[in-house]
Amino acid sequence: MAEATDLADCSAERLVAGYAAGEFSPVEAVQAVIERARWAQERVNAFTRIDADEALTAAKESAERWRSGRPAGLVDGVPVTVKDLILTRGTPTLRGSRTVREQGMVWDADAPSVARLREHGAVFVGKTTTPEFGWKGVTDSPRHGVTGNPYDPSRTAGGSSGGSAAAVALGAGPLSLGTDGGGSVRIPGSFCGIFALKPTYGRVPLFPASPFGTLAHVGPMTRDAADAALLMDVITGSDWRDWSQLAPPAGSFREELTRPVAGLRVAYSPSLGWDVPVRPEITAAVRRAVDRLAELGAEVEEADPGIADPVEEFHTLWFSGAARVVQHLSHAQRELLDPGLKEICAEGARRSALDYLAAVDVRMALGLAMGRFHSTYDLLVTPTEPITAFEAGAEVPAGSGHTRWTGWTPFTYPFNMTQQPAATVPCGVDGDGLPIGVQLVGARHADALVLRAAHALYSSGAAELPALPMPGGS
């Protein structure tokens, strides 16, 4: 019988295999994860709630299905966490905001990704932290406080899916659902040393539609690419509530992982061709990951995509979306908002429809340029971030000169504008022991290729990081 502490560190694939073989039960695994979640909550404040009783009830039901040889689906009995922006039936979705009422509300709907997980027998352990309405690239909110980094709780976990990233890194469930409107799974994935994928827009159905429009994606946050492929096989099922969803994928993402990366045309861009001061140790770590792809047979050359930084146009789209989020709030409610969110909402409200459409024009030109680039290259590789995790509770690093979170994360939001799949893979640590991420970007619809390249880095050992200290010495 496996030790409980070991089960909290198992991948989703390993758990499912263990259930099938009768090595351990979903009840044991979920108990271990609940214990780890409580420890992680004390360490870094990753959760808005931990639903222990409900999770154990679901785990017992899963165990009975496995005993009878009738598992519900691909992740039956696997512990899952969900970012507190994503609807979960029977559980409040508070969005990190003091303006959202918990009592007297009806929580009777699952988001599409949650519904697919429920159909496949997943066990929901709890909801994870987010900045208010997911507005920024770090995770702190007026309602739930600051989320720290698993490698150093005094540093930020990143955001806006910081609670999910921290939970996965600390063994509080191998699978988590995050959202990404400008880097929000990739930023915390990089800072916390886990895998995270922003799929092609529409690949994972979304409901309700995001006020940030087609910038916002739902994506998997996991310990490796294999678990992300498993999760994608579940959550990419169709849902009539999303009018912009893509057709369901023709095959399995897991099956695509086994294909080689030899022959892939890879462009390595150290800074997207922009004047971005990337820390030398990050450049070196990303270069080692690129070299590993070359050793595996990929055809690598250094090349920039030839695009300009679209930050001002992103701001128009993002700030306008934020203004829409709070449009219904009273003056008294607006006084409860995160001060930074209030600032960008005011700025967004000043932007005109013509400003918005001009930003859309830039977005379309950016998509065209990246489409042209990917007619030559299968994969673009960049650093995920030019920095590692900084002080928790701050929107920007002290002394950086940046005024908004977009200033220090220039490599993520462009690919929300183009709707391309983009993933972060851990590729080392800096001198302080903080994780470094490498970003893999594919052409639209090339989610399987991005997962395959990421899996190759994991399989070759290029994504290994120093082990985190865990309770009980696990």
Are 85 and 134 in contact by the 8 Å Cβ rule? The answer is yes
- Among 177, 184, 50, smallest CA distance to 122 is for 177
Residue 474 pLDDT greater than 60, yes or no: no
pLDDT of residue 1: 35
pLDDT score for 36: 97
Would you state the pLDDT for residue 103? 86
What pLDDT does 71 receive?
98
State the sign of the Cα–Cα–Cα–Cα dihedral 393, 396, 397, 403.
negative
> Which one, of 175, 213, 173, 214, lies nearest residue 197 by Cα?
175
* Residue 198 bears catalytic tag: no
Is the pLDDT reported for residue 331 higher than 90? yes
**379 is written with which tokens?**
């994969």
Q: Average pLDDT, whole number, for the chain?
A: 97
pLDDT band at 6 (very low <50, low <70, confident <90, very high): confident
Residue type, position 161, single letter: S
113 given a catalytic annotation: no
- Judged by phi (left if over 0) then psi (alpha if -120 to 50, else beta), residue 461 lies in left
Q: Is the pLDDT of residue 454 over 50?
A: yes
One of 83, 127, 136, 198 is an active-site residue; which one? 83
Percent of the chain with pLDDT over 70: 98
Q: Is it the case that residue 410 has pLDDT exceeding 60?
A: yes
Alpha-carbon distance 326 to 230, whole Å? 36
Mean pLDDT of 219-226: 98
Give the pLDDT band of residue 340 (cuts 50, 70, 90).
very high
Specify the pLDDT at position 473.
Answer: 52
Q: Give yes or no for residue 5 having a pLDDT over 60.
A: no
Whether the link from the prior residue into 160 is cis, omega within 30° of 0, is yes
pLDDT computed for residue 374 by the predictor: 98
Least confident of 83-87, 136-140, 184-188, 209-213: 209-213
Verify whether residue 184 is a known catalytic residue. Answer: yes
Q: How many Å from the N-terminal Cα to the C-terminal Cα in the chain?
A: 16
pLDDT at position 3 over 70: no
What domains, with CATH codes, occur in the chain?
4-473 (3.90.1300.10)
- Residues 357-375: pLDDT tens digits? 999 999 999 999 999 999 9
pLDDT digits (tens, 9 = 90+) for 32-54: 999 999 999 999 999 999 999 99
Residue 4: predicted pLDDT: 43
Tell me the H-state helices in 22-154. Answer: 26-44, 52-67, 112-119
State the average pLDDT over residues 257-265: 97
Distance CA 106, CA 89 (A): 9
Of 372, 385, 384, 386, the residue nearest 305 (C-alpha): 372
Look at residues 212, 164, 148, 134 and name the one whose alpha carbon lies nearest to residue 47: 164
pLDDT at 304 over 90: yes
- Annotated active-site residue in 25, 62, 164, 184: 184
Active-site position among 25, 97, 113, 160: 160
